Amino acid sequence: MPAFKIEADSPLTAWGQVNRDLRRRLEEGEFPPGSKLPSEADVAAEYGVSRVTVRRALQALVADGYLTTRRGSGTFVNDRDSVTRFDVDLLRPWREQLLSSGNVARSRLLSYEEQAELPEELHGVVRFDDADRLSLGLHVQEVNGVPIAMSESWIPVDGKAALLTKARSAIVSAAGWIRIAFATAEQAQLLQSYRDVPLLEVTTHSRLRETGELVELARTRWIASRVRCAYHRTLTIGQIDMSELLTNR
């Protein structure tokens, strides 16, 4: 009986659950660098799934740099330096961070619509002027040629784009939220990944601090296996949740 059991009621697909558990085992060193992974048949028997499910889970681990497949020889574990994962502080511009650490980071525009409708699910949760006409740009964020995220970016058209071009030093305030999502087939293709791969979906709206005018509404979907979110904060000991343990007798 395997220690890990596929959850039938999980929003994550069977291959995604196998992928997640195999990644955990790789990161914990159960399969050391250079070692050969058990065969697809053996892994399928261990997890109680089909070989097709295992193959898809392994392909995703290969894409993220954890494994290498050698035709006729099997699947082998890479060293940690081969794993595609980047630290991103969501409170700072992502390209500045990654460029400063010697990476090649770019945002590639895939499509542009001069006038676009705001998705229904964003109505009511983001304040904006219904009279605004919005343009839409679809981007893929890449580091060293590897996609790590995709973004939809809506910006106002009427007069405001010109204002922002002239006032690039104007102070902008941004707010938003994060949720877990799973890639559609179309999103997975753009990200060079697989359908249902877990995503960190970050929606933000940026406004001029002085006037409150909308600068940008953006929805970015980060591949959870390729980024690690970092943050820094300053607070008192009394504000740390752990501090309650200090007074617990």
Question: All domains of the chain, ordered by start, with CATH?
Answer: 14-82 (1.10.10.10), 86-230 (3.40.1410.10)
Contact 7, 20 (CB under 8 A): no
Q: How confident is the model at residue 159, as a pLDDT?
A: 58
Q: Give the pLDDT of residue 40.
A: 92
- Residue 158, classified by CB atoms within 10 Å of its CB into exposed (0-12), middle (13-18) or buried (19+), is exposed
The token duo for 29 is 């060193």
The candidate with the shortest Cα–Cα distance to 89, out of 201, 220, 202, 229, is: 229
| Tokens found for residue 28 | 């914990």
pLDDT digits (tens, 9 = 90+) for 72-131: 889 999 987 777 788 898 888 899 988 988 889 999 999 999 888 888 888 776 666 655
DSSP 230: E
pLDDT in tens, 15-71: 888 988 998 899 888 999 999 999 999 999 999 999 999 999 998 888 888 899 988
Taking the model in full, what pTM does it have? 0.78
pLDDT at 161 over 70: no
Nearest-angstrom CA–CA distance, 118 and 216:
12
Spatial contact of 196 and 12, defined as CB atoms under 8 Å apart: yes
Gap between the Cα atoms of 187 and 193, Å rounded: 8
